Chain A
């Protein structure tokens, strides 16, 4: 199949959406944190833990949706840890985030190994199956490409729409943006800066946990240690690429999905000539390129990473 023909198959676009879904969750989650002014570098670890705990819940007998819920709750707990340390206590957002990532990732390995001893074949569960939507799934090309996805993918799109609506059309979203642009300004209007910031980090981290769980509950069906592979960091790049706007961030996630799905197929086509590792570097390289292009232009929330101490002279 030629390089171009790959692009026009429905299975390709279905793969794009499947690859993009965890990134959508993670990027919107990080976007919410950063819009409130908090950089959350715990994302990689939170996604890893969400992947593990969601899978474990299902392995121990829960339903797939219960797995997603538990993953979201685990995200809120790590988010609460990060939020409390960085907002009321004002610790360095960079180092705290790295600490949370290391803690969450290693804790996930620890718990997994505690429950399941080492074996040659990792245990599996039955993951989400794609659902058909009446009438839409029968459309030519668009049907199998876009409308035969797994339920969490539709949830991801709904979350993007919800995030956009809340941020730009509700009083809560406006207050959140205010907190991320000028903490003193928000404070002078009686808005609780600490409350909103911690709340944003908790909600964002819940989404991150769900994104991780998608990997084990939908994309794959088992948990292995190098599961997340830097997707969390890509999400941070995608937030910048999307200029902190949910719609553009979604676009970024889809573009990433396109490149990742494409490089997988290129691997299959050209694996003999070029080592497969070269193809695998493409998505990372493109993320760096996206950052290089967008960093100067994107309007960053003015209070991002500026700590706020109430009542300090």
Chain B
């Protein structure tokens, strides 16, 4: 048997099921040294599951994994690391209360050693840091680092353990476009030094710009292999989704009266200034888009407009009334629809039934309760209407809501909001983690609402989404808002600059 030393990873017929869901269906692939391979697929295609099997988080039901020609023990992260596989996870696996060097060196020395070899590990870290251009302060507490810095620590963690294969899961989800190109420059350097790089992404332009080979996954199987030279954007999109992708686009309408006005609004949180002097307006029949990399203050702004926080200075007016106290129920009653960014953890109480989640924002209103007792029949009837109108599938009314898939959960959340004919919609990352079909549906519903004179504040990290839907766009960076620009003049490059805090260069503040 001929050993091919340049083949880093060989997966053969990997299959993985989660209950009735077939996440990976007989996947085989090969990745060699010195190449950058992209796993492209929409949300739910099975990319993360596959890499988790490679790294030992999951055990495949069928199939084998070989690293540098040798069979890899399944289900053991330790074995994967020892074989030379390193992974940069989508949600960082770092301890905020420990320092950078503590995070990096934990687990690398035998427990029988009586003393940490701190001086040696520090030297090694500094060496790796300069070799690959990843600057970090070894003694900084991870909790104080920015997202970009934390990602560097994640990468250094893998390199410290002598990774020869580096897997990155949606690495640019939390980076500005400029930080993203810097990351890929670093990855190319690593590949040149002999590493094999695999990155997972659902962003078409990114994979075309940075990968040597593109593997397209759909519904748990590899459906195509392309190189950037041989694949157009539209072709890749179609391969990813399985049919022609048409996302709805905005139609400009004359805007109406202001529904949400913020004047110099700031939010202090103890010692931190989370939102700094924000001024903006959302009107009827328009969509105002807010783009930014997560962690730059969108959360604070979302908390303010959804009734979870009160401004520490400045004036915030919703539907004519100044916000002086935290009262989500008033907002709901007044006609504000709120779609949270974490639908599983915040949008529903997962262990409560579907019908209870359908009425949870309005449980105290006369429609669903009388004299403090719940009107169960009214609630059930309402939920049945929602299920039918919004095609919510997957769970009968009295089963736990957590059994619903991400897309159906979003249908429930949108449904309960839209059914009340809201005047203002706060949509926070409404399509995060959804497959193309669900994304198109959400966009259609938002545009329909806009035609019914609703005003929408769309908070998103997805540049494609904001350019397709929004009439006006602003960016947020470190708690400060950029000037608002009309959608006609917005492009990816300009928005990228704004997301990184550069907005004096852009033109036409509106």
Q: Residues of A with Cβ closer than 8 Å to B?
A: 169-172, 174-175, 177-178, 181-182, 184-191, 299, 301-302, 310-311, 313
Contact = CB atoms under 8 A, between A and B. Distances in A.
Interface hub of B75, B77, B78 (most chain A Cβ within 10 A): B77
Interface residues of B, number: 39
A178 B55 CA distance: 19
B103 A178 contact: yes
Contact of A185 (B78, B80, B95): B95
Contact of A190 (B76, B98, B103): B76
Interface string B92-135: 11111110001101111111011110000000000000000000
Contact of A170 (B81, B82, B94, B116): B116
Nearest to A173: B116
Contacts of A184: 89, 91, 93
A301 B93 contact: no
B59 interface: yes
B158 to A, nearest CB: 10
A171 B102 CA distance: 10
B98 A178 contact: yes
Nearest to B89: A188
A187 B116 CA distance: 20
B107 A302 contact: no
A190 B58 CA distance: 13
Contacts of B113: 170-171
Interface string B55-94: 1111100000000000000011111111000010101111
Interface of B: 18, 55-59, 75-82, 87, 89, 91-98, 102-103, 105-111, 113-116, 157, 161
Contacts of A170: 111, 113-116
A170 B82 CA distance: 21
Nearest to A299: B97
Contacts of A187: 57, 77, 93
Interface hub of B56, B79, B97, B98 (most chain A Cβ within 10 A): B97
A311 B77 contact: no
Contacts of B115: 169-170
Nearest to B87: A188
Contacts of B78: 190
Nearest to A196: B111
Nearest to B117: A171
Nearest to B81: A190
A190 B161 CA distance: 11
Contact of B59 (A174, A299, A311): A311
7 contacts: A177-B102, A185-B92, A188-B55, A189-B157, A190-B78, A190-B82, A311-B57
A190 B107 contact: yes
A301 B98 CA distance: 10
